[in-house]
Chains A and B, each alone.
Chain A
Amino acid sequence: MEKRVIFKGWMLPALLLLPQIVITAIFFFYPAGQAIWQSMFVPDPFGLKTQFVGLGNFEYLLGDPYYRASFVTTAIFSGLVTVVSMGVALYLAILADRLIKGSGTYRTLLIWPYAVAPAVAGVLWMFMFNTRVGVVAWYLGLLGYDWNHVLNEAEAMGLVVVASSWGRISYNFLFFLAGLQAIPRSVIEAAAIDGAKFWTRFRTIVWPLLSPTTFFLLVVNVVYAFFETFGVIHTITAGGPQQATTILVYKVYSDGFVGQDLGSSAAQSVILLVLVGLLTVIQFKFIERRVHY
């Protein structure tokens, strides 16, 4: 799409573009280029020189059991976060959609956790399940369950999944409710008149008509679980125990800043870059399709 009516000249537009170009060049393209460049070097043991290794860092990474484990961890983590946050949100949205009035009130009550930072959400959940002072951990102990996410890998994963999903429910709820309310009442009532019960109506009418929303949320939530949950993991488990919650983004951080292995960290950045690229392409392909709906 292009404008037919435009202004003349090139000095003014160049001036208008300049701030964005300069900032993007310095803080985006240069670092991104550096990441690609650094990914092909390893520092010598004394950190004085670096040596060109081509794709060596990538080869090493793909053979590294820890890195492969981190891939699996990321897949499990983002899968669970997506399913939990979307499942709860869909359930609540269906309930709210059934109300004749009051769905707006519930919407107000449910959307604001979106504003709570993932890192703060992490602190809240860590506090509830803290092995020393956590209320929930204490009551679980009363029931005979010995909660300890500091040592138990499955419990650590469970906790970061719930803490990451918690704030995300708001966002998904908002989009699901809007999607449900966009379905014409008449279609559903016609089915009801024909004797279709709630589950039949949901399976044959609501779910298919909701699928664009669902697919959109699927992509967005995977992106969220990949890149925006660093705060949750850093505050609750710091990637542990035994790297059980070290997702890819966390590993870029821990190898690059804690481990000081710049070559490997840069190579991991490049791999992530490719992953984001793929997700973005999927997202855009989908949006193109949605426009034609």
Chain B
Amino acid sequence: MSEQRGMVEKRGLGHWLTHLGLIIGVLFIFFPIWLAFVASTVTQPEIVRPPMPLLPGDQFFENYSKALLSGVNAPVAMMMLNSLIMALGITIGKIVISLTSAFAIVYFRFPGRTVFFWLIFLTLMLPVEVRIVPTYEVIANFGMLNSYSGLIFPLIASATATFLFRQFFLTVPDELTEAARVDGASPMQFFWHILLPMSRTNIAALFVILFIYGWNQYLWPLLITTDPSMNTIVMGIRQMFPSGDDLADWPVIMATSILAMVPPVIVVISMQKLFIRGLVDSEK
């Protein structure tokens, strides 16, 4: 294959220039993260007397254990646990309610079906950022401030996943349903033993995308978690900066930033195929 592809690709000098261009791009992408990593391994005085070093120091364990165990307002380990619970809650919750409602909409005829479909479809259009004030009031009235359910539920209320599963269910051959019915399978048996196993890849791809989406939430946790022990890591970083002129604890803040990106980055890299598929699916 590659022997035949040689005509328009560059060789010799042009080939190296292509690599050079790409490497510069990769370095540009990596540089901010490298700097954050370096800052997370040196001491505070090394940072506040610029320029800071560009190579890692020897304070890795000190800074990371300080961040994880005590942090600034709350231990970062606790914030990571909150983030994990929120991300998994959003991911699993959204997948479960979307699977069942897509199944109902595609495989049944009942009064008001089209109305329900359009009602769900409408939610595609309104991100949580747009309705923050009234949603905040709902959560406050339910006494759900500083709670996991308050973090999770408003972010589940959107139909992207329902839409995706509906599209997929429509491509499942009718013969399978027919065969299941002839064999006397109930709708739920069909759902469990045929539809779910067939949706495995779609579910996994969506899982990757939704996990990153949930983990990276910022505005919503910022509004409803006033108690530091309920902070998530992504919004908690901002809370670590002192107000006024006090000096920020940069090594701990940068260690926290690195810790905040490790879980989603691992998910993306280790499940690259599913991730790409999920991205493409969710934009269709």
Where the two chains meet, the residues of A that have a C-beta atom closer than 8 Å to any C-beta of B are 1, 3-10, 12-14, 16-17, 19-21, 23-24, 26-35, 38, 88, 91-92, 95-96, 98-102, 106, 108-121, 123-125, 127-128, 132-135, 138-139, 166, 169-171, 174, 178, 185, 188-189, 192-193, 201, 216, 220, 227-228, 230-231, 234-235, 249, 252-253, 256-257, 262, 265-266, 269, 272-273, 276-277, 280, 287
Contacts and interface: CB of A to CB of B under 8 A. Distances in A.
Q: How large is the interface on B (under 10, 10 to 19, 20 to 34, 35 or more residues)?
A: 35 or more
B108 A10 contact: yes
A66 B97 CA distance: 42
Contacts of A4: 174
Contact of A133 (B26, B181, B250): B250
A256 to B, nearest CB: 4
B9 interface: yes
Contact of B103 (A16, A139, A252): A16
Contacts of A35: 130-131, 133-134
Contact of B50 (A8, A31, A32, A134): A134
Interface string B100-144: 110111111111010010011001111101111111111000000
Contacts of A266: 133-134
A19 B268 contact: no
A269 B133 contact: yes
A234 B157 CA distance: 25
A193 B123 CA distance: 52
Interface string B248-284: 0010011001001100110111001001100110011
Contacts of B135: 27, 31
Contacts of A17: 100-101, 104-105, 116
B272 A34 contact: no
Interface stretch (B65-73, B199-207, B215-223): B215-223
Given A20-B162, A227-B127, A189 B7 contact: yes
A252 B162 contact: no
Contacts of B81: none
B35 A135 contact: yes
A108 B272 contact: yes
A196 B163 CA distance: 45
